[in-house]
Structure 1
Amino acid sequence: MAVLSDSDRRNLEKNPNVLKVTGFNIAYTPTFKIKAVQQLSQGMSYQQIFAEAGIDLSLFGREYARKCLERWKKVVSTSGESGLKRNVVERKQQGDLKVKNLNLSKRKMPI
């Protein structure tokens, strides 16, 4: 996802389906996530779900909506809808979220 402008962030923050917006990340409400997963299972397209929620997908990469919904579907399949009501830290603590161990010491990082 590209860095959002101040104007884009303000517009997204006005959307009732959005919980929090930073320059690099958007947190959606649990209610929206649950509804979106249900709509997907009923045959709605990824793009249609976000469009109906008033979220402008032109701000994001081509695969943004699909990746969000696939991630949410995975949470529902492992933890049920209640998994979408908990934040990432809570899911990690309860073992519902697997975190890959990244060995960054071997990677050359730009300075």
Structure 2
Amino acid sequence: MSKIIFNEFQRQQLENNPNVNHVSDRSISYKPEFKIAAIKEYKNGKGPTDIFIEYGFDLDIIGSKKPQQCLKRWRKTYEKYGEEGFKNELRGKGSTGRPSSKDLTVEDKLKKAEARIAFLEMENDFLKKLEELERKAKKQN
């Protein structure tokens, strides 16, 4: 997160930029199309600062280091996931979780499955006891 805190006027000015999804007090959410276009222009030899200026960003507002930081982060995403990495949400509710970086052996998969089964059985037992307590509480009332 940025050390820069945007005031109301700066937020409004940034939100008027067609390449911005959302602006909070401390962060800017850029549109996926802009990120992809910026990476392609960077690969063609244009500098990060020039790209941001060309797309209508005021470096006095966002900070002079922001273009380099953003493009560094976006390039990593682009190399790992391609253009789809910007179009699909990789965090939060839309995410399927962090994929395992190593392949599990059959024994490890079995241990993991047994642990999950044990957890689900305990959860089931807990819910049964909770239902029973709720039934008793209703009878007493």
Alpha-carbon distance, 1:7 to partner:
0.2
- Unmatched 5+ stretches in structure 2: 100-141
Deviations 1:74-94 (A, max 9, x none): 001000111011234168535
Is contact 2:19–2:55 with CA below 8 Å preserved after alignment?
Answer: yes
Q: How big is the alpha-carbon RMSD for the aligned residues of Structure 1 and Structure 2? A: 2.0
- Equivalent residue, structure 2, for 1:84: 86
> Considering only CA atoms, is the larger Rg found in Structure 1 or Structure 2?
2
CA distance in 2 between counterparts of 1:63 and 1:87 reads 25
Aligned partner (choices 35, 41, 44) of residue 42 of structure 1: 44
Higher helix share: 2
Deviations 1:8-49 (A, max 9, x none): 000111111000000011000000000000000000011110
Is contact 2:49–2:64 with CA below 8 Å preserved after alignment?
Answer: no
2:96 corresponds to 1:93: yes
Which consecutive segments of 4 or more residues in structure 1 shift more than 6 A?
Answer: none
- Equivalent residue, structure 1, for 2:73: 71
Aligned partner (choices 17, 29, 50) of residue 27 of structure 1: 29
Letter in 1 for 2:54: E
Superposed, 1:53-68 pairs within 5 Å as 53-68=55-70
Tell me the number of residue pairs that the alignment of Structure 1 and Structure 2 aligns.
97
Relative contact order: is structure 1 or structure 2 higher (C-alpha 8 Å, sep ≥ 6)?
A: 1
- Unmatched 5+ stretches in structure 1: 97-111
CA distance in 1 between counterparts of 2:71 and 2:86 reads 11
